Chains A and B, each alone.
Chain A
């Protein structure tokens, strides 16, 4: 991420990075640290004014700049929603193409250590619902390296990147695969014959963890990283389902009116007969997020539940016979974290 942000500034003279905390010592989870010194005047700290700052980004984009606006929690993006939805999404269309609003908004999905209801929302489907906004959830090194660069260089409209807070500290193995043709496309992360798991963000990583475990029990999972929430790859999903006939959607947010609903809509509209069993969806429990760890651990789908869900679906019964690994919350695995936030 830090490399992507530095490249955005070095490769494009008109890029600015703007938001609260972009110049402080924490540098938005280390993705911006020091850039304000290296690029004076182009990394701009702001007052707490999300609506106006978003409008400022839009106005700047109309006049030749490429603004990258950060929200250290997606929840604060709701303060920007008026400008993002009423203005950025519509400025090109509503003026018959006279204007373009090339800009990026980075929203961080909070999780763990008692983030609570207002520091943990994952709002991709809210914004993806709006024509004119492009919503992406980069979750692999390839996606991160290619999506940000491609967006800054080529996408002439507003793009919202949802980044998962737990992924900043992960050590990824940068893959040796060639970069994909279309950095905005959904990606096949793992092939398998028994079940299709369509996942977003950190759930892609969870799905891969579950897949690795289940492989030892001859359950082969196919994992699709949805990545492009606004324009999921319908063909990729249906081709996979033609093979497996079983679908699990693993999303970072609530299920109702969310990514899970959209994937189900795609299948239902294209060819529901590919399904051998009802769809199973994994997401947040249908409540605001609690702060107590004991509740957090059941609020989010974890490895335990993911494995159990896949095994039930593939084996077709509750007593599927696959031993479930000892209960481990996602945050325990991804981060030995002792606070503050």
Chain B
């Protein structure tokens, strides 16, 4: 694939995600999405860049801020929208909402709203692959805040001890809700993981999906050969508030100028020509998904007690 074709392909994926998120913002005041939404706006490039090197059989564990990875890994947009609308024909029959997306058919193994709680699951999935001689990497996405949880340390240690093919993917947006990283951490994430013998790399240009794609390609290729765990820390930026459709630059913990540099490099903001070219088809896709969601049946009383065990 030529560089230009590759750029356009990745751009399209990232733009779709951003437009989906912006559609959610547009719909939010109408109370159709009755679920907290943690939007991926600003962080799309990470998902798109990483998933470029992942196969369908690679298992990905995501977080409550999971729309980008859900879509980038191949999750169905219609089913996602129906899920946000709480419909019985949504991804999870309306029981998951935005925070718990999953698409097992393409390896999206679930999202948790308890920070860091899926990290050890990814290690277990890798252990299962190893013991059953199944190919496939286990990828776990988490934010900078998750690295403060004890279970993160436990998971790194176990994965390194047993040499498991886990890709620890940290989306470092510098925030845990409203608290900045320097208020919380004494360590550097990519250096800390090296203490366990886990090769780690930090990518500063988190807006650059091609760069993220290149680094991930190299790392995943190595992992498929040697089966050892790795860590990739990507610096990224959350444009919107922690949860919800709005912006909160007036709240005091950060200002719009803090991310001005970032937005000035974001291809989705800069390449207006390509955005204009792709907009009609992407809008159509999103509009169709919303229509699918609106038409979906509501779950009934018989669904309340189903699927417990």
List A residues at the B interface (Cβ < 8 Å): 14, 16, 41-42, 44, 46-47, 49, 51-65, 67, 82-83, 86-87, 91-99, 131-132, 134, 155-157
Q: Is B186 an interface residue (CB 8 A)?
A: no
Q: Is the CB of A47 within 8 A of B96?
A: no
Contacts of B102 on A, CB cut-off 8 Å?
A: 95, 98-99
Residues of A within 8 A of B163 (CB): none
The residues of B that contact A83 with a CB separation of less than 8 Å are: 117, 120
Q: What chain A residues lie within 8 Å of B198 (beta carbons)?
A: none
Give which listed residue, B61, B93, B158, contacts A52 with CB less than 8 A.
Answer: B158
Nearest chain A residue, comparing its CB with the CB of B136: A63
Tell me whether B309 and A157 are in contact (CB under 8 A). yes
Residues A98 and B158 in contact in the complex (CB < 8 Å), given A52-B123, A65-B132: no
Cβ–Cβ contact A93 & B307, under 8 A: yes
- On whether the beta carbons of B96 and A95 are closer than 8 Å, the reply is yes
Q: Is the CB of B95 within 8 A of A59?
A: no
Q: Is the CB of B117 within 8 A of A92?
A: no
Query: Total contacts A to B, CB within 8 angstroms?
Result: 148
User: Contact at A96–B95, with CB atoms within 8 Å?
Assistant: yes
Most buried by B among A61, A92, A95, A155: A95
Q: What are 24 sample pairs from A and B whose C-beta atoms fall under 8 A apart? A: A14-B132, A46-B158, A49-B158, A52-B151, A52-B155, A53-B158, A55-B120, A56-B158, A59-B121, A59-B123, A59-B126, A63-B125, A64-B128, A65-B128, A82-B117, A83-B117, A86-B112, A86-B117, A93-B307, A93-B308, A94-B95, A96-B91, A96-B95, A157-B308
B149-160: contact bitstring with A at CB < 8 Å (1 yes, 0 no)?
A: 011001101100
- Interface presence of B302 (CB below 8 A): no
CB-defined contacts of B93 to chain A, threshold 8 Å: 96-97
A82 to B110, CA, bound (A): 17
Q: What residues of A have a CB within 8 angstroms of the CB of B155 in the complex? A: 52, 55-56
Of B91, B92, B125, B308, which one neighbours A62 at CB under 8 angstroms?
Answer: B125
Residues of A within 8 A of B296 (CB): none
Nearest chain B CB to A52 CB, angstrom units: 3
**B309 contacts A42, CB within 8 Å?**
no
A67–B120 CA distance with the chains assembled, in angstroms: 14
Contact B124 A62 (CB under 8 A): yes
B: interface residue count bin: 35 or more
Q: Are A62 and B307 in contact (CB under 8 A)?
A: no
* B191 nearest CB across to chain A (Å): 21
Residue of A nearest to B124 (CB): A59
Residues on A with C-beta less than 8 A from B162 are 44
Within the complex, which residue of A16, A44, A47, A60 is in contact with B125, where a contact is CB–CB below 8 Å? A60
Q: In the complex, A162→B275 CA distance in Å?
A: 59
Contacts of A63 in B (CB 8 A): 59, 124-125, 128-129, 132, 134
Q: Is B189 an interface residue (CB 8 A)?
A: no
**A58 partner residues in chain B, CB cutoff 8 A:** 120-121, 124
- Cβ 8 A contact of A92, one of B128, B154, B309: B309
Residues of B close to A98: CB separation below 8 A: 91-92, 102, 104, 110
Q: CA separation between A92 and B93, bound complex, in Å?
A: 12
Task: Looking at the assembled complex, report how far the CB atom of A15 sits from the nearest CB atom of chain B, in whole angstroms.
Answer: 10
Query: Which B residues are in CB contact (< 8 Å) with A82?
Result: 114, 117, 151
| B122 CB–A CB distance under 8 Å | yes
Q: Is the CB of B121 within 8 A of A134?
A: no
Check if B276 is an interface residue, CB within 8 A of chain A.
Answer: no
Q: Are B104 and A55 within 8 A (Cβ)?
A: no
Q: How far is the CA of A251 from the CA of B128 in the complex (A)?
A: 38
Q: Cβ of B131 < 8 Å from any Cβ of A?
A: yes
**Apart from the given pairs A55-B124, A97-B92, A99-B110, 5 other A-B contacts in the complex at a CB distance below 8 Å:** A52-B123, A58-B124, A62-B110, A95-B91, A97-B306
Which of B118, B157, B307 has most chain A Cβ within 10 Å?
Answer: B307
Q: Which residue of A lies closest to B140 (CB)?
A: A59
CA distance in complex: A99, B61 (Å): 13
